[in-house]
Amino acid sequence: MFDPPKYILEGLEKQSPETLREIAKIAAEMADNKERQFETELEEKEIDDRPKDLDRDDAPSNATLATKEINGNRYYYWQWREGEKIKSEYIRPVDPKR
């Protein structure tokens, strides 16, 4: 469970219900913006790292290339969001020789 810093909780406890609701909206917007920024940075990195032999036409729409490490081996996956869920589709090992 997340325990916010004491100085934040002390400040929030002094606020009215209306102000707390507005703060919640602002915090949700900030979280969305940070998540989009992170996803954009990840996509830009993936574009640079994408192997030339992976065909984007084979990917599900709006998917990005992701790598996962399982038992010391790395694998490529297409990854995308459907609503609140993140979906993945296996492609192949990062190092096909392994």
Tell me the domain boundaries of the chain. 1-49, 53-98
C-alpha 79/C-alpha 88 separation (Å) is 4
Please determine, for residue 98, whether its predicted confidence score (pLDDT) is greater than 60.
no
Half-sphere CA count of 48, side-chain side, radius 13 A: 5
- Residues 4-26 have pLDDT tens digits of 899 999 999 999 999 999 999 99
Residues found in the chain: 98
Quick one: pLDDT at residue 26? 94
Beta strands in the chain (DSSP E): 64-70, 73-82, 85-93
Do 79 and 87 form a contact (C-beta atoms < 8 A)? yes
Quick one: pLDDT at residue 20? 95
- Residues 52-88 have pLDDT tens digits of 677 667 777 788 888 888 888 889 888 888 888 888 8
**Alpha-carbon torsion (69, 40, 88, 30), positive or negative:** positive
Do 77 and 68 form a contact (C-beta atoms < 8 A)? yes
